[in-house]
């Protein structure tokens, strides 16, 4: 098992306060100009929907989506940045060209709220600035797919990323695409990168939502990754630790990671017969925000489990 607590700041990434400051600019109107009490009312509504596992309802309009971002995306981002940088394999995908022609390609399933995007960018940015004067380009493509329409949020994030982080046209080496699409739909959205071209797939706090939407389709989606992902592709799954992530099968409750492991790696005693190998796992790990971070809303510590798989 890995360590039980991630570092507050891994040196591979931009400092947490710099990440938080980006969100203070992105959502300046909501946090500092408009009615703050009204924002917190919307936050409470989203929190209630999420507690009741009403995932579609939680993000069914732009006001609630922005409220979610103001409240949860900053703390999620700095935790994801620490988690991504914890794995040399993931840092390698972000900072190294893994294909001779097209560079690295990442798919973030359920990543519309921007935390995965900004966390990846917080690793790519210092690397590409150091590499700016050397020959050759490192092209990175990040695709976000989400059942809710986060297009405006993604655009707001990228506008500030381009002006504050990837300036001097460094953003030309960084392609971001958003698709408002149900990943459980067997038809891939038009223009979305095929699974067999991906170097990394993330499902961060998304599997519970998928299984709530349709358990059979969720299993078929994982099986599709078994069939179509290229050898060496990484798959990172993160979800809440503890009973919140248990699912009921018949009359019994199982940790959702048990079902995921079975589909991807194989049943107990048959672990090596699956299409994926388990690179790293932890059933309960904390990310705790540094206490001196400046943000107008309390930043949230996170306890979660993770699984990092590699396609054989």
Residue 275 has, within 13 A of its CA and on its CB side, a CA count of 17
- pLDDT reported for residue 247: 81
Q: Rounded distance, CA 45 to CA 43, Å?
A: 5
Q: Rounded distance, CA 271 to CA 262, Å?
A: 8
- pLDDT reported for residue 252: 80
In contact, 8 and 283? CB cutoff 8 Å: no
Q: Is residue 1 part of a domain?
A: no
CATH number of the domain at 25, please.
3.40.50.150
Put simply, whether the predicted model's pTM sits higher than 0.85 gets the answer yes
Structure tokens at 142: 């990040």
Q: Is residue 179 part of a domain?
A: yes
Q: Where are the alpha helices (DSSP H) in 87-114?
A: 88-95
Q: Is residue 232 part of a domain?
A: yes
Q: Is residue 7 part of a domain?
A: no
Q: What is the pLDDT of residues 71-90, one digit of tens each?
A: 999 999 999 999 999 999 99
Phi-psi region of 116 (alpha: psi -120 to 50; beta: other; left: phi over 0): alpha
Q: What is the pLDDT of residues 136-178, one digit of tens each?
A: 677 899 999 999 999 999 999 999 999 999 999 999 999 999 9
Q: Is residue 296 part of a domain?
A: yes
Q: How many distinct structural domains can be found in the chain? A: 1
Q: Which residues of 49-67 are buried (b: 16+ CB within 10 A; e: fewer)?
A: bbeeeebeebbeeeebbbb
Based on the number of CB atoms within 10 Å of its own CB, is 155 exposed (0-12), middle (13-18) or buried (19 or more)?
A: exposed
Nearest in space to 113 (alpha carbons), one of 166, 173, 50:
50
Domain range for residue 216? 16-311
Q: Is residue 6 part of a domain?
A: no
Per residue of the chain (312 residues), give pLDDT as tens: 445 899 999 999 999 999 999 999 999 999 999 999 999 999 999 999 999 989 999 999 999 999 999 999 999 999 999 999 999 999 999 998 555 556 899 999 999 999 999 999 999 999 999 886 555 677 899 999 999 999 999 999 999 999 999 999 999 999 999 999 999 999 999 999 999 999 999 999 999 999 989 999 999 999 999 999 999 999 999 999 876 678 877 778 888 998 999 999 997 666 568 999 999 999 999 999 999 999 999 999 999 999 999 999
Nearest in space to 73 (alpha carbons), one of 121, 34, 5:
121
In contact, 273 and 241? CB cutoff 8 Å: no
Q: Is residue 5 part of a domain?
A: no
- pLDDT reported for residue 63: 97
Q: Is residue 9 part of a domain?
A: no
Which residues have C-beta within 8 Å of that of residue 170, sequence separation ≥ 6?
125, 128, 129, 132
Based on the number of CB atoms within 10 Å of its own CB, is 27 exposed (0-12), middle (13-18) or buried (19 or more)?
A: buried
């Amino acid at each position: 098992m890995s360590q039980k607590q991630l570092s507050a700041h891994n040196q591979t990434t931009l400092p947490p306060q710099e990440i938080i400051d980006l969100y203070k600019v992105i959502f300046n109107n909501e946090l500092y100009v408009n009615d703050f009490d009204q924002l917190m009312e919307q936050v409470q509504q989203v929190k209630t929907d999420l507690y009741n596992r009403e995932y579609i309802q939680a993000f069914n309009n732009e006001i609630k989506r922005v409220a979610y971002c103001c409240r949860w995306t900053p703390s999620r981002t700095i935790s994801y940045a620490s988690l991504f940088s914890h794995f040399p394999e993931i840092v390698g995908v972000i900072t190294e060209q893994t294909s001779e022609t097209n560079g690295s390609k990442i798919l973030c399933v359920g990543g519309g709220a921007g935390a995965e995007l900004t966390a990846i960018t917080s690793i790519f940015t210092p690397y590409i600035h150091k590499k700016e004067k050397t020959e050759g380009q490192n092209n990175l493509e990040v695709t976000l797919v989400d059942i809710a329409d986060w297009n405006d949020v993604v655009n707001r994030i990228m506008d500030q990323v381009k002006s504050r982080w990837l300036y001097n046209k460094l953003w030309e080496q960084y392609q971001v695409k958003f698709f408002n699409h149900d990943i459980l739909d067997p038809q891939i959205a038009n223009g979305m990168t095929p699974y067999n071209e991906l170097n990394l797939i993330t499902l961060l706090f998304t599997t519970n939502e998928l299984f709530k939407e349709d358990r059979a389709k969720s299993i078929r989606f994982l099986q599709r990754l078994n069939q179509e992902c290229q050898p060496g592709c990484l798959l990172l799954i993160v979800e809440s630790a503890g009973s919140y992530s248990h699912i009921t099968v018949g009359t019994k409750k199982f940790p959702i990671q048990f079902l995921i492991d079975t589909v991807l790696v194989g049943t107990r005693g048959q672990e090596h017969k699956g299409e994926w190998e388990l690179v790293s796992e932890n059933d309960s790990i904390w990310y705790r925000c540094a206490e001196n971070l400046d943000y107008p809303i309390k930043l949230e510590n996170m306890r979660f489990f993770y699984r990092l798989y590699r396609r054989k």
